[in-house]
C-alpha cells in the first residue's frame, strides 16, 4: 500500500481536437517508446467507469480504508477517469519491476527490522514520473492530444486499470500479478483523449490457491482481493494517523516499514519458471540500516542521512523509530 501524492492535472490544451471514432495506428510506436524508457510492460484499456468501482465503493462503506480519509474524497474521479480528463478515451498502464532478492533478517536475527522491498531503492515516484512525462509527450504528438499521468498519486484505481489493460490479473492478495514476473513491480498510468486499440485482459490464474490469505499474520486479507487496511501491516507502519497500540505493535512480525508476506508466499513469485526481470539501476536495493536499536533512536538528521531519496522518507523519522521500538518490545516479549 503506497501513499498518494498531489495528482497531475491535465496538460494545458486550449482547443482540444475533436475525438474521432477510429482507433489510432500509433500503438506500436507508443509501446516501443515505453520500453525504450525502461518500462517492462505496457497495456491500454478503454476509458470508462472503473471495472471494480462497485467493489471499491463497498470497501469504503465497510470502513476498510481506516484513517486514509483522502480515499473517500474525489470518489467520482476515482471510479471514472473521464472525470479527471474530460473526453478521455484510453487508459495507458505501464509497469517497472523492483528487486526482490534483498538481504532480509532471518528468525535468528531478532535485532534487525524488515523494510519492504519496494522502498529499498530510489523513490519510485521520482523515477517513474519523469519517464511518464516523456511518454506523455509521445502520446500528445505535438499537442494534438491531451494527457494526465500519475504514479500512485492521483484519484485513480490503478490496479483496476492494470488488470483491464492486460498487465496482469488482480490476485487474491489484491496485487496485480504478471504471469511472467510475478508481482514485484510498480505501476504508472496515463489518461489520454487519444483513442488507442485496447489490449485483452489476462484471465485470473490464482485458482484455488489461498497461500496469501493463510499467511497474513493479522488477518487483513479476510476475503480474496479485499484488504482491511486497519489490520494490514503496511498500513500500521506507514499510513496510520493514530498512535501505534501495544496490540498492533506486537503484530508487526518484525516489519518496521511495509510488509511483503503476501508476495513472499505467492507461487507466482517463487516458481522455477518465473522470469527474472531486468531491474533499473535506480531501483537497486540500498544498504539501509535495519538494526532495531539504530532505527529506534533515529533523529531527523540521521534519518535523512540514511533514507533520503527513498520512499521511506514519507513515513518520517518519528514513525519509523516508533515502529522499530514496537518490534523490539515484541521480540523481547517472545524471549528472543
d(CA 197, CA 90): 8
Residues contacting residue 106 through CB under 8 Å, at least 6 positions apart: none
Q: What are phi and psi of 43, to 5 degrees?
A: -145, 160
Helix (H, G, I), strand (E, B) or coil at 185: strand
153 vs 134: CA distance, rounded Å: 18
CB 31 within 8 A of CB 143: no
Q: In degrees, to the nearest 5, what angle opens at C-alpha 262 toward C-alphas 261 and 268?
A: 115
CA geometry: angle 70, 74, 80, nearest 5 deg = 125
Q: Which residue out of 152, 160, 228, 290 is catalytically annotated?
A: 152
Which set of grid coordinates corresponds to residue 319?
514513525
Q: Is 152 a catalytic residue?
A: yes
Cell numbers that stand for 61 in this block = 462503506
Nearest-CA neighbor of 67 among 156, 3, 150? 3
What is the grid cell recorded at 3?
501513499
Which residues are known catalytic residues?
152
Amino acid at each position: 500500500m503506497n501513499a498518494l501524492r498531489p495528482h497531475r492535472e491535465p496538460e494545458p490544451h486550449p482547443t482540444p481536437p475533436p475525438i474521432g471514432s477510429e482507433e489510432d495506428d500509433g500503438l506500436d510506436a507508443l509501446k516501443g517508446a515505453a520500453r525504450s524508457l525502461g518500462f517492462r510492460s505496457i497495456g491500454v484499456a478503454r476509458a470508462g467507469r472503473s471495472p471494480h468501482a462497485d467493489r471499491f465503493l463497498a470497501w469504503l462503506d465497510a470502513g476498510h480504508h481506516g484513517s486514509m480519509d483522502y480515499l473517500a474524497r474525489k470518489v467520482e474521479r476515482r471510479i471514472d477517469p473521464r472525470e479527471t480528463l474530460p473526453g478521455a478515451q484510453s487508459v495507458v498502464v505501464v509497469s517497472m519491476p523492483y528487486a526482490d532478492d534483498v538481504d532480509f533478517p532471518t528468525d535468528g536475527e531478532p535485532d534487525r527490522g524488515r523494510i519492504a522491498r519496494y522502498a529499498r531503492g530510489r523513490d519510485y515516484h521520482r523515477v517513474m514520473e519523469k519517464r511518464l512525462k516523456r511518454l506523455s509527450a509521445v502520446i500528445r504528438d505535438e499537442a494534438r492530444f491531451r494527457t494526465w499521468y500519475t504514479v500512485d498519486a492521483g484519484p485513480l484505481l490503478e490496479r483496476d486499470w492494470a488488470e483491464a489493460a492486460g498487465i496482469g490479473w488482480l490476485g487474491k492478495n489484491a496485487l496485480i500479478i504478471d504471469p511472467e514476473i510475478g508481482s514485484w513491480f510498480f505501476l504508472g498510468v496515463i489518461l489520454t483523449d487519444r483513442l488507442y486499440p485496447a489490449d485483452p485482459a489476462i484471465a485470473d490464474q490464482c485458482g484455488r490457491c489461498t497461500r496469501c490469505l493463510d499467511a497474513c499474520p493479522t488477518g487483513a486479507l479476510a476475503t480474496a482481493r479485499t484488504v482491511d487496511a486497519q489490520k494490514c501491516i503496511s498500513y500500521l507502519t506507514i499510513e496510520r494517523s493514530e498512535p501505534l497500540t501495544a496490540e498492533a505493535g506486537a503484530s508487526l512480525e518484525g516489519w518496521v516499514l511495509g510488509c511483503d508476506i503476501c508476495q513472499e508466499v505467492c507461487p507466482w513469485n517463487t516458481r522455477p519458471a518465473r522470469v527474472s526481470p531486468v531491474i533499473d539501476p535506480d531501483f537497486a536495493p540500498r544498504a539501509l540500516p535495519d538494526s532495531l536499536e539504530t532505527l529506534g533512536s533515529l533523529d531527523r538528521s540521521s534519518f535523512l542521512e540514511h533514507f533520503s531519496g527513498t520512499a521511506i522518507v514519507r513515513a518520517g523519522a518519528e514513525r519509523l523509530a516508533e515502529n522499530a521500538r514496537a518490534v523490539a518490545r515484541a521480540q523481547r516479549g517472545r524471549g528472543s
